[in-house]
Each structure stands twice: as structure tokens, then as C-alpha cells.
Structure 1
């Protein structure tokens, strides 16, 4: 399961309808106005193949890791139709803006968002190794603004997230990581809700945060608990590419990006590590690493 907003439901692939309600999940989650480095990944694309864009919407989450680089997941950018345009917004509530201007055509919506400084257009690049094996899917991408006249730093005030040093999570070790505070941030939908016809995942498009618990560290992944009974929250659809922060060595770092988890979004968040050699090799052309 990949946590973009495109999910399998009732045997079909459906783009979830979103409304300005809960994201991340409905339990143990809070607004995150202070996480100004965390944003939404949006796209304008053609779903019918007639060459006319007919959808402008948020797809995933991500993080500014310097003034002109937005880190997200490769499965958010992969397979986009020819002519797809890519945008990033650091607005706290993207969905309300979309709802307010739903009477416009998708192209007109995108133009309005650009004119009002609600999004900035960039260039997506994904890890050439994607999709790799389950042990290391190489599920990383960036939206790069280095070649653009306007960058997110020209529009919003934010401090880029701090990436980990090489092998930092291994050096810290599982015992310390289990005691460290973990925080997930994103724009995704809520956990599964029962209703007529089965499960739905309401909400999304609003930046929220929640605490998580550490489960395990592997060569490429961090497994985090989102168990409600333990006071944790967690990620769901649309949180893909978003950050999972951990405080280690007295500093909060972006330990990994949300990639997958359990289908109802009630147990586990599986996070792609950013301190490994393959992850750092992908990031090196875009970001100055510590």
C-alpha cells in the first residue's frame, strides 16, 4: 500500500474526495501551524487522455529541505501523464482554497493559485532506482525549484528541515530511538471509517501532526506505531512523502518519509530512511548534506 491519495477501493482505483476536516487521523492529532517547512504536493493533469487538464488537486505531502528543494515520495510523481504540471503549497489549509474556487476549471484554478501565491510551480525528479525491491524501494523524489524564477522561499517564511547525517539512526541505535519523540506531519486523510459500501477515508488537505512510537529499524526502513491506545496518531493516504521527525543527539532531524503502512491506517507507519547511502546519493545533486 502506498499512501498517496490514489487508493484501491472496491476493486477500483479511486481518487479520494477531500474536505477540510481531519487529516493524519482523527485521534491524537493536532493542527501544525508551526511546521511551515511541511507542504502539500499538488498537480494539474489530464485524466482522460484528451490533452486537456481536468484535475487540479493535492496528491501527497513533503518537506522543504533547503530553500529550493521539496522532498517527497517517488510514487507521488511516478507515472504522471505527459504534460502534468507540478506544484508545492506551504499553506496550512489547501483543501479550503480548492473548495472555495471549485467553480473554476482546473487550469484556471492552477493559474489563480499561482497568482495568489498559494502554490509555486517546480520540476519533479525521482530516484532512478524506483521501484526497487521491497527491501529498498528507492521511493524518493524531489520537486526542484532551482531553475524557476519563483521558489517557495520567495513566497513563504520557513526554516528547512534538518536531514540526518550518514548512518545517524544506526549510530543512535534502536534503544535510544525507542525513547526518542517521533512526530509525523502531513496533509493526508483520516483513518478508515465504516459506512455504507465499506471503508472510506475522509478529510485531508490540511496540515496536521501526531506523535508516533518506535517499533523497529531496518536497513532502509523505520517502522513506527500509530496505536491509538498508546496515545499515538499516525499517517494515512495523502501523507506519503511527508516527514517523520525524531529528536536525537539534542536535535530534531527528518528521520524519514512516510511511504506505506496498514490499509486502515490504525497500526503502523512505514518510513523510508534518509540517512542511508542510497538515499543520500539521490539527494546529493539537490541538497548540501551534512
Structure 2
């Protein structure tokens, strides 16, 4: 199988598995739009009559950290039944948080959303194999380090060695049915049409732009810490660094990109090198393909990377194929709708103001 040629690119994709999701912000636990989190890069606003609008939603996650800090992050999702949403597994808050609450917002403009457009998430099912790609990637990195060839120069690796097939999917159950002006997405069943060069449409509430201002890395005594904290972004060799400024509009946007190649058995790599694509806040969001005038949901935003390792979403994005994992999705929907309220997997709610 054809592989992504740049090993460093593939390694970064796995390492940045949650790049398209926003990091929590220290703000109130009320359902509000995150200040650094919304609109597709290079996209246009989705019209109210657009079929993509009718099946795409925003997911707001309020969290309380173990040390008592409140925060919030944003993802995107797609409607797959009258009361369930498909999103990325990494959008589901884990045990690192003391408390967490997930909400789905049925609005294209988060700046104008109403209380009536917010629905609580009452249950969650995460793909049982989520994280397998990350585990394989870590094993690959360790093997290369031990061999004295950390960059993998001259080494032939499969997609799966490089972190492909990470099963980054989760299904959320709503506390009530979807509004009347929303509908279930049409799911693509023939994934063979996702060929190299195929035009696809991405949608989400993620960043609209990432600006870069070059800085001297020598000004940062602990460069690794500065990179890890998000203060700056640097190239792989850490010789060129930038201060990254994120911009957003908090509205649902869409844009077209092209398929590069399959990535493992269940994922697809998309080209974001033309100034368009998914970014922070778009995690879990949909990828559509138009077939004879009908938009079909085929992918879920998982992860991505910028050029030379810079976190600006300017290189590739990896999407999980929906139909390839439809067995999981259908079982999760059934599980969430047959489990009693007391038994349903839930996030512990924070009181919304």
C-alpha cells in the first residue's frame, strides 16, 4: 500500500493526534464559545439551507481539572440518528478531569446561540480500539531510537507502523431528539470513490486562520517547554520558530480540499497545503463527497499537521472513514438506546450558568 513518504510527517501526525481539538481554556463552566476555537481555515459560511448545515453540529465540552481549574474546548460532530452524534474519540474528556460535561449546539453561529439550541449529552461510547495507532507509532519511534536512527532515514515503514488506523471515533447520545430543522447525514457506502485527487468538502467550527511571527529560539532558555506549552511553534530541527496567533469567527464553515491517499485501512490523508482545511475546533467534524448532487458523509476529522512540524494546520489532515467503521457506529447507537439511564456511560455534568 502506498504510504505517506515523509516519515517525520507521519510521526508528527500520530504525535499530534488531538491537533484539531481545542485545548481547554480557563473560563467559566457555562456553555459559551471558546475564545480560540472556531471556523474552517480558508472556508465560507455554511448557508442555513445547505444540507451540510442540517447534519453538522458543534460540541462544547466543559471540564474541571484535578486541581480545580475550569476550562472548555470545542469539537464538531455529525448527526447519525435521531438522537446520536458521531465525533472523534479524542473529543471525549478522560479521567484526567475531575468533572466534565458535554453539550451539543444546534446553531451555525455560536455568537448568537440560544439556550433552546443547547442539548446535553447523556451517554457516550468510544471506539474500543481507539489509540491503537498511537501505540504502534510510539513503538516505532522507540525502535528507531534504539537502532540509532531516530529519523528513520532509509527505513521502509507501513502506514500502520506510522500510526495509521487509530480508530478515533465516538458516538454521543443526546438527552433529547434532534431539532426539526436538522436531519441525519447520508453516509457514503462506496468508499472506493475516495481516490487520489478526489474533491471533498470539510465542515466545522474550528480556527479560520493561524498567523505566524518568526522569533529567535535563543530567547527561550527552555525551548522544549515553550513548544510544549504552545508559546511558540518550531520546525523539526528547532532552528526556526514562530509565535502562532489563532483567529476565529465562531461560525460553521466549509471548504474543499483533495484526497492525497489512503492511510491504512480505515483512514484517508487530505491535502491542506493550499491554505484551506480543518484545524483546532474541527475535531470530529464531517468530510463530505458530492455524488450526483447529493452530499454524502464519509469521514470524521481525527488529526493533522503543519509544514515542517509547525502547528498551523497547513500540511495534511487525517480523516477516519465512516462506513469502514459503521459496524462500531451502529452497535454504539443500539447500545446507547437500549441501556437504562442508570447504566448509560455518561460524563459527569458541571452546572451550566
User: TM-score scaled to structure 2, two decimals?
Assistant: 0.62
Match of residue 187 from structure 2: 163
50, 55, 59: which one aligns with 1:37: 55
Please say if 1:138 is aligned against 2:137: no
> How far is the alpha carbon of 1:143 from its aligned partner?
1.1
- Which runs of 5 or more residues in structure 2 are unaligned? 1-15, 25-32, 134-162, 216-231, 233-242, 306-310, 335-353
Match of residue 214 from structure 1: 259
Match of residue 118 from structure 2: 119
CA distance in 1, matches of 2:132, 2:36: 34
CA distance in 2, matches of 1:18, 1:163: 32
Note the alpha carbon deviations across 1:160-216, whole angstroms, 9 max, x for none.
Answer: 111122xx213x3626xx34x311000001342124861122215321111111211
Please say if 1:201 is aligned against 2:264: no
Match of residue 6 from structure 1: 23
> How far is the alpha carbon of 1:273 from its aligned partner?
0.8
Match of residue 109 from structure 1: none
> How far is the alpha carbon of 1:129 from its aligned partner?
1.4
Note the alpha carbon deviations across 1:79-99, whole angstroms, 9 max, x for none.
Answer: 1524311110021122455xx
Please say if 1:88 is aligned against 2:104: yes
Please say if 1:182 is aligned against 2:225: no
Moved over 4 A (4+): none
CA distance in 1, matches of 2:323, 2:278: 21
CA distance in 2, matches of 1:173, 1:182: 9
1:193 is paired with a residue whose SS is strand
CA distance in 2, matches of 1:286, 1:250: 30
Match of residue 239 from structure 1: 282
1:60–1:258 distance in 2 versus 1, CA, 3 Å: same
How many residue pairs are counted as aligned between the two chains?
Answer: 241
C-alpha contact 1:86 1:124 (8 A) present in aligned 2:
no
Note the alpha carbon deviations across 1:233-264, whole angstroms, 9 max, x for none.
Answer: 21001101000101246642111011111131
1:184–1:173 distance in 2 versus 1, CA, 3 Å: closer
1:19–1:68 distance in 2 versus 1, CA, 3 Å: same
- Which runs of 5 or more residues in structure 1 are unaligned? 8-15, 98-112
Match of residue 316 from structure 2: 268
2:191 is paired with a residue whose SS is helix
